[in-house]
Amino acid sequence: MPPDRPPAGARPLRLGVMASGEGSNFEALVAACQRGQLAATVCQLVVNNPCCGAEQRALRLGVPCTVHDHRSYSSREALDQALIASFQAADVELVVMAGWMRIVTQALIDAYSERLINIHPSLLPSFRGAKAIEQALAAGVQLSGCTAHLVSLEVDTGPILVQAAVPVLEADTVESLAARIHAQEHRILPLAVRRAAERLGLT
Ligand code: GRF
């Protein structure tokens, strides 16, 4: 970090985002920064799937994007070291996993200790893993939702920052429930970033 940098709180928080797919949560974060809801700036996106929706959105929004295709790394740890290097080069202070579909290692968690946030489409600790919405429908729950949390090593665990609940309707399909949950994810993710920054005294 440059020595002449203004103190935290006097400048926008520098956010890094990790995404694998559509990138609607990434865009929601950028929008929250642009409308001043979040005193932050998304200064680096990393994606693991070349040409994914998130990368296209970054191009449109003018956010620097680096592709780290997981297929070209020998291990999860090697991929995470490359992510860390990209974030450090961009002076990123807090990282958001916004639809990152890879398991992360202790290296990334340590590099961004208490500063690594994940968004998950269920009310954790229920329905961890990649098929959370399918699991919720199969279980017949009447309420589901989303959780933004700090990242611990075990997948979809760690201190909860913000949750939002949505009803599960009888006629719901994976798509209809996912759309309802997504709308809430876009709302709570900026709140979670703010809460994490407050915990760290970064705001
Ligand atoms: C979200 O539902 C998130 O909870 C999950 O992956 C999805 C990403 O959506 N981890 P998008 O790429 O942000 O549109």
The tens place of each residue's pLDDT in the chain, 203 residues long, gives: 445 566 666 789 999 999 999 999 999 999 999 999 999 999 999 999 999 999 999 999 999 999 999 999 999 999 999 999 999 999 999 999 999 999 999 999 999 999 999 999 999 999 999 999 999 999 999 999 999 999 999 999 999 999 999 999 999 999 999 999 999 999 999 999 999 999 999 87
* pLDDT on residue 202: 86
Given a contact cutoff of 8 angstroms between Cβ atoms, the answer to whether 32 and 24 are in contact is no
- CB of 55 shorter than 6 A to ligand 1: no
* pLDDT on residue 10: 72
For the chain, what are the domain ranges?
Answer: 13-200
120 is catalytic: yes
Pairing of strands 143-150, 160-167: antiparallel
Given a contact cutoff of 8 angstroms between Cβ atoms, the answer to whether 95 and 122 are in contact is no
Task: Tell me the CA–centroid distance for residue 19 and ligand 1, in Å.
Answer: 8
Give this prediction's pTM.
0.94
Instruction: Quote the DSSP letter at residue 79.
Output: H
* pLDDT on residue 203: 76
Q: Ligand 1 pocket: which of 182, 187, 188 to mutate (most atoms <8 Å of CB)?
A: 182
Indicate which atom in ligand 1 lies nearest the CA of residue 23. 12
Q: Distance (Å, rounded) from C-alpha 4 to C-alpha 74?
A: 38
Q: Distance (Å, rounded) from C-alpha 55 to C-alpha 181?
A: 22
* pLDDT on residue 4: 59
Nearest CA to ligand 1 atom 14: 24
CATH assignment of 13-200, given 3.30.67.10, 3.40.50.720, 3.40.50.170, 3.40.50.1820? 3.40.50.170
